[in-house]
Every structure is written in C-alpha cells, then in structure tokens.
Amino acid sequence: MITLFENYDQMSEYTASIVAEEITNNPSLRIGLPTGSTPLGMYKNLIQFDLDWSNVKTYNLDEYEGIGENHPQSYHTYMNKNLFLHVNLTKDFINFPDKNTDSTLKRVGGLDLLILGIGHNGHIAFNEPGSSLTSASRRVKLSKQTIEANSRFFDSEDEVPKWAFTMGMKTIRESKRIILIANGPDKWDIVDKCFNGGVTKDRPASVLQMHPNIEVFYAS
C-alpha cells in the first residue's frame, strides 16, 4: 500500500500526473484537496498541465476559524496562490468545509478523488487524535501539537488559530479513491505506525488501512 519515492520531486510529479489523468478522464471530477507544505510540489506540477478545470468541483479539507479568507495564512489564500488563480476553475465550484459539507457531498455522490497529507500525530485534515473514526465534518479545537507545527507560518504561536472547520473522518472515508502523501524522514514514523500498525483513533490516519482504494506515497 505504501509506495516509496526517491525524492520529493518525483512524488510530487507522479501525484500531479494522477490528478491530471483523473480530470482528463472525468472533466466533472469531485476532488478533495489538502493544504500544508507537502502538496506544494504537486500543485506546482499540476498547474503546468493543460487541463480544463471548468467543470471540476473542489472540496478543501479544512480551514481555520477566526482569520478571514484574505488572511495570508488562510487556506483560501494558500489555494488561490498555489492552484485556483492558475487554472480555469469555476468560482462556484470551489468549496471549503462548513456545516453543509456532508449533506452537499452526500447529495452529489461523495468525492471521486481525495489527496491527503498527514500530521506528525497522525491527523488527517484537522481530525486530531481521539477523533471518532466515523465523525462528521465539524468545528474542531486544534491540538497543541498542531498549533506548534503550524506556528512556523505565523509570526508567533499565539497567532495560530485555535479552532478550525474540518471535513470529518466519515466524509473522508467515503471518498472513492484516496492518495495520502508524506514527505521527509520526520514523517516516516507516523506513516509506518498508521499503515503497518493497528487501527486506533489515537492515530486517525490508521483507519484508512481499511479503505478499499487507498495509496500512500512517501518520499524520504
């Protein structure tokens, strides 16, 4: 289930090529998208493809609460900068999680493809350790570890939002195809525990072992 890549660039290129292929095969693809440092290479490669995004529907995994959409560290800003402003997406087809996410996705038939990162504590989106493995999309309090990890993007740890809205574990697990990407030696331990160890809500990503169509890409 884990594919090892020699380096980050290779993993990024390959992941982007899969997304491009999916969009080519299904121009109305419903795709779940991550933020963070790991997907940056994938987006960089993806915007080089000549693809028609006009019917693609995007669903971001999470967004902070308490900072506006235009804040430099909001995930809206991240997505505009790294993907949305580079492709011909239809504005109305861009989605960030809110209280309607699950009902909307249910109505349209769920996500066709979901690209995910993983936190050092095994979180996926902002489903922190201890999250129910069947949770709905919801407002969540961020763990101390996540706030510390994300403080590198803010002037100080105090400025990191403490709350966020996240896609839930159930919503994630209902995606038809999932690709989880992880990069760097510091991520190996959690990838190994989540995909070679037991399933536990202390490491939310571990439940993805049970998904029928999951691929894990790891670059050292």
Among 32, 97, 119, 168, binds ligand PGA (CB under 6 A): 119
Give the shortest CB-36-to-ligand PGA separation in angstroms.
3
- Contact between 115 and ligand PGA (CB under 6 A)? no
Specify the 3-state DSSP secondary structure of 204: helix
- Contact between 38 and ligand PGA (CB under 6 A)? yes
Specify the 3-state DSSP secondary structure of 74: coil
Give the shortest CB-140-to-ligand PGA separation in angstroms.
13
Active site annotation includes 128 = yes
Residues 56-75, interacting with ligand PGA (CB under 6 A): none
Among 10, 37, 88, 132, binds ligand PGA (CB under 6 A): 37
Give the shortest CB-129-to-ligand PGA separation in angstroms.
12
Active site annotation includes 13 = no
Q: Which is nearer to ligand PGA, 56 or 219 (CB)?
A: 219
How many residues of this chain interact with ligand PGA, rule: CB under 6 A?
6
Give the shortest CB-208-to-ligand PGA separation in angstroms.
13
- Contact between 36 and ligand PGA (CB under 6 A)? yes
- Contact between 117 and ligand PGA (CB under 6 A)? yes
- Contact between 32 and ligand PGA (CB under 6 A)? no
DSSP secondary structure of 178-197: EEEEEESHHHHHHHHHHHHS
Containing 171, the helix (H) or strand (E) segment is helix 169-173
Long-range CB pairs of 188-197, under 8 A, 24+ apart, other chains included: 188/218, 188/220, 190/118, 190/119, 190/120, 190/121, 190/122, 191/2, 191/118, 191/216, 191/218, 193/122, 194/118, 194/122, 195/1, 195/2, 196/2
In whole angstroms, give the CA distance from residue 46 to residue 68.
27
Closest C-alpha to 204, from 116, 101, 84? 116
Spot the catalytic one: 22, 63, 112, 123: 123
Q: Which is nearer to ligand PGA, 20 or 40 (CB)?
A: 40
Spot the catalytic one: 45, 60, 82, 121: 121
Go through the chain and tell me how many residues it has. Answer: 220
Cβ–Cβ under 8 Å, residues 160 and 140: no
In whole angstroms, give the CA distance from residue 43 to residue 179.
14
The residue nearest ligand PGA at its CB is 36
Summarize as ranges the residues that interact with ligand PGA (CB under 6 A): 36-38, 117-119
What are the residue numbers of the active site? 62, 121, 123, 128
